[in-house]
Amino acid sequence: MNTTTTATETRVQILGGIEVIGGSVVLVSTPNARVILDFGMRDLNTGLLQTPGGPRRGHELVDLLRAAELPVSPGLYDPAQLASDPQLAASTRANRDARPTAVFLSHAHIDHEGALGFLDPSLPLYASEETTVMLNALRDTGEYRPGHPLAPIAVDTGETIRVGDLTVELIPVDHDIPGACGVLVTAPDGSVVYTGDLNFHRDGGMRSHAFAERIRGVDLLVTETTMLSFDHPPITTRSEAEIEEILAAELTGVPGLVLMSAYPRDAERAQRLIALARTHGRELVWPSRDAALLAAMGVSDVTSWASERAESDSRPLAAGINRVTVAAVAAEPGHYLVQPDGHDAPALADLPIVSGSTVWVHSQGEPLGPFMPDWEVFQLWLQKLGIAVIEAGSTGHALGHDLLAFVEHVAPGCVLPIHGKRPEALTVSMPRVLPRYGDVYLLDGTVVGHELVSVAS
Ligand SMILES: [Zn+2]
Ligand SMILES: [Zn+2]
């Protein structure tokens, strides 16, 4: 008797995130199913859609595809958003795929979730509970998202989701945002892991170490390589205790107002900074945009401005949020720690700044750094007002040596480096494939085909 077995060959494609930090998109498919891991937006600081200018509001998908800033081929986009360009609409229709398809999000950073609103809204979107809370909080507090609103489905730790013959699990990692996960995809012929973004210094790297242990021996590892992009990393690593120590020294040493810039999506750190300010007799005042988001994410004791404060991007505030006036801060500046709006540099001059005494403690809030368009003007205002900058940031990404140790520990059959400018700097003992757009990989890294995708380089 003749028996024929059909081997399922799982295929992996990198649709975004090659030789850039951000814009990650990974597609894993079998003849029966597809999963998309992240659908991020590359930063638009360069290229055809750079600031100022950028894609037109409400027409972002068409503009981004025309500028080759998003993959064009896989027939994944929302047809309603392509109506104004018949050619793009026709190509998306032609590429439609009947296989069950689902999207999994590693974490709620824009370079991973920024383009999700362009996907066909019929595709289910899965994310960790904390990531789901954050996406909903962003939506509910009026954060502009290009494309359609998201309706994420929360996945518990340890829960597996079946998509055709693929099984997907989100596994927590340490990053600088709550709910960050790596993704394990188990297929009939093997397994592939995508790290998302991770590090081994936040909270001692507890989650990331457990993740590394859990995925040991995976067939194919798709890993972030952010910190291998630099000979001299632009940002150091600090423990949360070290960050708090730096801020505490300023809260004690500066008699008047202290300014701070923290990243509001890092809700855990935000909650600790609010408490730290309280222990130093100060109230931490956030711009209304940040305050609304923090409160919606469940952070307590959030304070923002009274409604008369002029903000260029003010948001309605929930009833439980404390309010202060600029006059109250001016009357007792030593009782406050203020987070200025990084996009609103001229508003710094509203505050009771004392030249040569007031400091700005920068801990990964906006403006993020010299690579951001609003950095320079913010620095000009700091200089004009005589405000010194105190660095208190910590990268969310694994340092180079931690990353190399991680990959060696996991010992995958093959590793595919993305989300970094120098993937070739990931020098490891196992087979490594430097990904190229269009290449289709088997789980052992063999290239079995080439499908045209268009992505800005
Ligand atoms: Zn990232
Ligand atoms: Zn990230």
Q: Is the pLDDT of residue 37 over 80?
A: yes
Residue identified by tokens 């931690």 is 402
| 83 alpha carbon – ligand 1 mean position (Å) | 31
pLDDT range class, residue 43, cuts 50, 70, 90:
confident
Residues 13, 101: contact at Cβ < 8 Å?
no
Nearest ligand to the C-alpha atom of residue 21: 1
Q: Is the pLDDT of residue 31 over 60?
A: yes
pLDDT per residue as tens digits for the range 344-385: 999 999 999 999 999 999 998 888 888 777 899 999 999 999
| 112 alpha carbon – ligand 2 mean position (Å) | 7
| 306 alpha carbon – ligand 2 mean position (Å) | 32
pLDDT per residue as tens digits for the range 93-145: 888 889 999 999 999 999 999 999 999 999 999 999 999 999 999 999 999 99
Residue 140, H or E segment: helix 129-140
Residues 296, 141: contact at Cβ < 8 Å?
yes
Nearest ligand to the C-alpha atom of residue 419: 1
ipTM over 0.90: yes
Which SS3 state, helix, strand or coil, does residue 46 take?
A: coil
Residue finishing a domain among 375, 391, 407: 391
Going by their DSSP bridges, the two strands 439-441 and 447-450 should be labelled as antiparallel
Q: Indicate whether 90 and 140 sit together in one domain.
A: yes
Structure tokens at 247: 């801020």
Residue finishing a domain among 376, 391, 406: 391
Q: At what angle do helices 267-279 and 240-253 cross, to 10 degrees?
A: 30
Q: Is residue 1 part of a domain?
A: no
Q: What are the C-alpha distances in Å from 345 to residues 376, 377, 379? A: 10, 7, 9
Q: Residue 192 and residue 11: Cα distance in Å, rounded?
A: 10
pLDDT range class, residue 457, cuts 50, 70, 90:
very low
Residue 60, H or E segment: helix 60-66
Residues 6+ apart with CB under 8 A from 18: 418, 423, 435, 436, 437, 455
Maximal C-alpha separation, the chain: 92
Question: Residue 71: its pLDDT value, please?
Answer: 83
Question: Residue 456: its pLDDT value, please?
Answer: 44
Which SS3 state, helix, strand or coil, does residue 162 take?
A: strand
Q: Is the pLDDT of residue 5 over 90?
A: no
| 276 alpha carbon – ligand 1 mean position (Å) | 28
Q: Indicate whether 112 and 200 sit together in one domain.
A: yes
Q: Is residue 116 part of a domain?
A: yes
Nearest ligand to the C-alpha atom of residue 175: 2
| 331 alpha carbon – ligand 1 mean position (Å) | 42
Q: Residue 69 and residue 317: Cα distance in Å, rounded?
A: 35
Ion ligand 1 residues within 5 Å by Cβ: 111, 197
| 194 alpha carbon – ligand 2 mean position (Å) | 13
Average pLDDT in the 298-321 region? 94
Question: Residue 4: its pLDDT value, please?
Answer: 40
Question: Residue 224: its pLDDT value, please?
Answer: 98
Nearest ligand to the C-alpha atom of residue 224: 1
Residues 437, 453: contact at Cβ < 8 Å?
yes
Q: Is residue 246 part of a domain?
A: yes
The fraction of the chain above a pLDDT of 90, given in percent, is: 83
| String of DSSP letters for 132-201 | HHHHHHHHHTT---SSSPP--EEE-TT-EEEETTEEEEEEE---SSTT-EEEEEEETTEEEEE--S--SS
| 110 alpha carbon – ligand 2 mean position (Å) | 8
Question: Residue 451: its pLDDT value, please?
Answer: 82
Q: Indicate whether 147 and 127 sit together in one domain.
A: yes
Q: Is residue 456 part of a domain?
A: no
Q: Is the pLDDT of residue 6 over 60?
A: no
Nearest to 7 by CA among 412, 444, 434: 444
Nearest to 182 by CA among 221, 228, 219: 221
Residue finishing a domain among 342, 365, 391: 391
Residue identified by tokens 């009026």 is 142
Question: Residue 452: its pLDDT value, please?
Answer: 66
| 98 alpha carbon – ligand 1 mean position (Å) | 30
| 175 alpha carbon – ligand 2 mean position (Å) | 7
| 33 alpha carbon – ligand 1 mean position (Å) | 26
What domain count does the chain have? 2
pLDDT range class, residue 333, cuts 50, 70, 90:
very high
| 71 alpha carbon – ligand 2 mean position (Å) | 20
Q: Indicate whether 257 and 224 sit together in one domain.
A: no
pLDDT range class, residue 7, cuts 50, 70, 90:
low
Which SS3 state, helix, strand or coil, does residue 209 take?
A: helix
Q: Is the pLDDT of residue 443 over 90?
A: yes
Q: Is residue 5 part of a domain?
A: no
Question: Residue 126: its pLDDT value, please?
Answer: 98
Cα of 174 vs its chain's centroid, Å: 13
Q: Residue 137 and residue 151: Cα distance in Å, rounded?
A: 12
Average pLDDT in the 22-37 region? 95
Question: Residue 323: its pLDDT value, please?
Answer: 97
| 284 alpha carbon – ligand 2 mean position (Å) | 25
Question: Residue 75: its pLDDT value, please?
Answer: 81
Domain that holds residue 28: 11-231+396-450
Nearest to 184 by CA among 158, 151, 145, 204: 158
Q: 96-126: buried (b, 16+ CB within 10 Å) or exposed (e) per residue?
A: eeeebbbbbbbbbbebbbbbbbbbbbebebb
| 226 alpha carbon – ligand 2 mean position (Å) | 10
Nearest to 220 by CA among 197, 187, 198: 187
Question: Residue 44: its pLDDT value, please?
Answer: 83
Indicate which CATH number applies to the domain containing 365.
Answer: 3.40.50.10710
Indicate which CATH number applies to the domain containing 58.
Answer: 3.60.15.10
| 199 alpha carbon – ligand 2 mean position (Å) | 10
Structure tokens at 345: 């540099």
Residue identified by tokens 């952010």 is 226
Q: Is residue 3 part of a domain?
A: no
Positive or negative: CA dihedral 44, 48, 51, 54: negative
Residue 268, H or E segment: helix 267-279
